[in-house]
Structure formats: structure tokens, C-alpha cells
Amino acid sequence: MEIVLIRHGQPDWGSGVDIYTKNPGLTDLGKLQSEKSSSVFEKNEIDELWVSPLKRAQETFTPFEDKKIAKSTYTYEWLQEMQDEEEEALYGKSKEEVMAFFAKRNSQSFEDWAEANHGKYMEVFSKNIVSNLEAELSNRGVVSLDAEYDRRFDLSESSVERLMIISHAGTMSVLLSYFLNMPLYAWTWRKFLPRHAGHTTLKSTQISGGHFFRLKEFNNVSFTDSDEEQTY
């Protein structure tokens, strides 16, 4: 089984002005990134495609839908990006104010990260994703057996061979931590920061009476034509 994780294209946070915008769509570059990202795949190559309902993810999904890359598509609310109360308060703020906020947050100690509002929120955010993920996978015959040494799955009844998920950096950090059985911290998304519209692929490998997922590729943006098209 293969799982392809794709972050949305470059979002238009400013909407043409110097103001932080809630639920933005894509910039022209973001739309180009999405178009080129989708061009790598053939019609019906993907069994199922799951996508976040947020506008930037839906606009990234558009060329995939137009090309009929997936046999079936589903929009799931639980794939939305993390957004704690402090981040929600940034909407309508200037670019300088937003950058100052994140600079201050990023200078915190690990202990402060974990204990602060964002750290507590991340626990709730990740639990919501994992519980919904496991339910949807189980419905498709992909069952988590245990995670004592590595997370093993029973794929003997799986109805999905290739799954694609279009979401966000924070959401992807939870998905990667889950499938690769790694610790999840409030700053994990910064360790696994994917480029816009890039491909990260997980591949199942049989072991010890089950399967684990290995990282086949990370942040593949070979479909771009220049460094300028490779954004975070």
C-alpha cells in the first residue's frame, strides 16, 4: 500500500493586501504548483483521494479532480489545519505583527512550547486526527495492530492500494508521526515542513505478521521548473 501526502499550494494569506487572511485561496503561483503537482499522476492512478475542506486545499485539489486522478474522492473536516486561539487572533493583523508573533513563539524553550496554549492545543488537534484516521482506515480494512516497537498494520483486508491525502503542514506532521510511529511535539510540523504541493510518499513493508510504513520519498518537487516555484 502507498500513501501520498500533499501539502496545498502557496496560499494567498494577504489577499492582495498586507493583512493576514482567514481561509485563503491560492496565489497564481500556488495554482501553478498544484497544476504541475497533479501532472505527475495518471487518470485513476489513485484509489481514493482525501482532502481538507479549507479553500487552499480545495483549490489544490481542483486540477487533480479535473484530471480524474482518483477513482473516489472525499472531503473530511478533520483534515483541517491546526489553528489555536492565539493564531485565530492574528486574522486581520499586519504582516509585521504576524511575523513578530511567530518569531516570539519560535524563541520559546521546548518546555514553554509544550506547556503553552499551542502545545495543549496540539494534543487535542492530533488526537482528533488520529481517531478519525483510524476509523476511516479501519472502514477500508487497514487496521492498526500495535505500536510497541513500530506501528504495525493488518492490510490483509485492505480495499485501498493507493491513497492520496491533500492537507496542510500541521496535519501532515500528525499523519507522518502516526504512520512512522514517531513522537509528536508542538513543533514537529517544523521538523517535517513540506514544500507547497510537494509529494511525500509512504510505502508499506511486510514484517512480523503485519506491515509497517516506511518513508519512500519526502518533499518531492521534481515537477517544478525553477527554484522560484519551490516555496514553503
The pTM is what?
A: 0.94
List 215's β-bridge partners, or say none.
202
Number of domains in the chain: 1
Alpha-helical (H) ranges within the chain are 28-38, 55-66, 85-88, 95-106, 110-115, 117-139, 169-179, 188-191
- Residue 189's H or E segment, with its range, is helix 188-191
Domain residue limits at 72: 2-229
pLDDT for 15 equals 57
| In the predicted structure, residue 111 carries a pLDDT above the cut 80 | yes
Candidate from 3-7, 45-49, 88-92 with smallest mean pLDDT: 88-92
pLDDT digits (tens, 9 = 90+) for 63-110: 999 999 999 999 999 999 998 888 888 888 888 898 899 898 889 888
Query: How long a stretch of residues is the chain?
Result: 232
Which residues contact residue 156 at a Cβ distance below 8 angstroms, ignoring those fewer than 6 apart?
141
Instruction: Please state which of the ranges 12-26, 42-56, 63-77, 215-229 shows the lowest mean pLDDT.
Output: 12-26
pLDDT at position 16 is 52
77 Cβ contact partners less than 8 Å away, ≥ 6 residues apart: 53
User: Is the predicted pLDDT of residue 218 greater than 80, yes or no?
Assistant: yes
**For position 203, which CATH number holds?**
3.40.50.1240
